[in-house]
Chain A
Amino acid sequence: MRDDPSVIALVRRVSDGDKEAWSEIAERYSPLVWSICARYQLSRPDIDDVAQGVWLMLVEKVRDLREPAALPGWLATTARNECLRVLRTARRYDPDGLPADDMMPPDLATRAIEEGLLEAELGVALRAAFAELQPACHKLLSLLISDPPPAYADVSKTLGIPVGSIGPTRARCLGQLRRSPHLAGFLTERVGAIKIKETGR
């Protein structure tokens, strides 16, 4: 999703000093920053330190971003660099303490970042699409994705719809989700990325 028009618009608005647009970026991409920190198994204070570095750097550099659409990639790379800085700070005298991720060949490490990024971007798109579903669909899918997955009999009771209609309604609601403009071009691009992975490139 390298050319998501909503990201470009958000970055432009932030460059003009729009606080609402900044909040939207923070809300959308915090899970991305969080997930990268989680990969490095940092403590919560270290995670906060990383995030602070990432967001403050973005505040400083947002006007100079050459490709606004590349924001998620920029965030992922910056978060990774900040994680490594934090780890180096803690392990200054401990050369054996390098994170396993950093002992990977650079192309493998890059690929791990790219896969995480793809998942995070799909997450952003899915959450945006999900938030705009019709209320009845939003309710049904919310129930269906709860953990553990509920029995259809319970869904029927909670929503007051016949068990027999849950399957067709689920299909209709997922269809609605698929057609969301937020996901436009995304699902097919994902297939492309998975194919690249399978062929080992």
Chain B
Amino acid sequence: MGTGMTDDELLDALRRAVTARHEVPADFVAAARDAFAWHNIDAELARLTYDSHTADHALATRTEAASIRALTFTSGRLTIELEVGHDSLVGQVVPAEPAVITVLPKTGRETVLQADEIGCFCVEPIPLGQFRLRCRTPAGVETMTSWITL
């Protein structure tokens, strides 16, 4: 043991190790800790797979129609499409199912909505701050989106 590094190298490695930890924001670690709350939740995570906002940025073009933002969340079983309007959020569950949608804000009370026969639902007003959507199909399949900030 100890043949690998000189004292100077060891001190340098220690400096890098301590610096690497300091560079990580406290809320980043806190979010990692909070993820454990999921360990007994039987919902599948639907992750953001499309965001018109960032897609437009990547193209570096200014399209006039860019005022409506579209987001797509995908899990193994279903897709949730969202369109951000002026004062409401219009969504659709694909494949179409009359699912129960729950809006879960990071702070504040949750709201429960019913999607119609073609899977459409409307969240009004648009939630302030971070929130996520939970979707439960009539067959009992639970999906939860990642956190959304609009």
CB neighbours (8 Å) of A97 from chain B are 58
Q: Which residues of B contact A191 (CB under 8 A)?
A: 3-4
Interface size class of B (residues with CB under 8 A): 35 or more
In the assembled complex, how far is the CB of residue B14 from the closest CB belonging to chain A, in whole angstroms? 5
Which residues of B in the span 1-22 have a Cβ within 8 Å of any Cβ on A?
1-5, 7, 10-11, 13-21
Chain B residues contacting A55 (CB-CB under 8 Å) are 31-32, 35
Whether the pair B57, A26 counts as a contact (CB closer than 8 A) is no
**In the docked arrangement, what's the CA distance between A141 and B12, Å?**
11
Q: Please, which residues of chain B bring their CB within 8 A of the CB of A29? A: 32
A59's partner among B10, B21, B38, B149 (CB-CB below 8 A) is: B38
Determine the chain A residues whose CB is within 8 A of the CB of B58 once the complex forms.
90-94, 97
Complex interface residues of chain A between 134 and 156 (CB less than 8 A to chain B): 141, 144-145, 147
Contact assessment for B35 and A52 in the assembled complex, using a CB-CB cutoff below 8 Å: yes
Number of A-B contacts (CB under 8 A): 145
- Does residue B54 face the partner (Cβ distance < 8 Å to A)? yes
Does chain A have a CB within 8 A of B51? yes
CB distance from A115 to the nearest CB of B (A): 13
Contact with A along B43-64 (1 / 0, CB 8 A): 0010111110011011100000
**Most chain A CB atoms below 10 A, which of B32, B45, B51:** B32
Question: In angstroms, how far is the closest chain B Cβ from the Cβ of A34?
Answer: 5
In the complex, what's the smallest C-beta–C-beta distance from B75 to chain A, in angstroms?
A: 11
Residue A7 is within 8 A (CB to CB) of chain B in the complex: no
Other A-B pairs beyond A22-B36, A174-B11, 6, CB < 8 Å: A52-B146, A59-B36, A59-B38, A85-B49, A130-B17, A141-B14
The 5 residue pairs across chains A and B that have the minimum distance between CB atoms: A187-B4, A55-B35, A26-B32, A123-B17, A90-B54
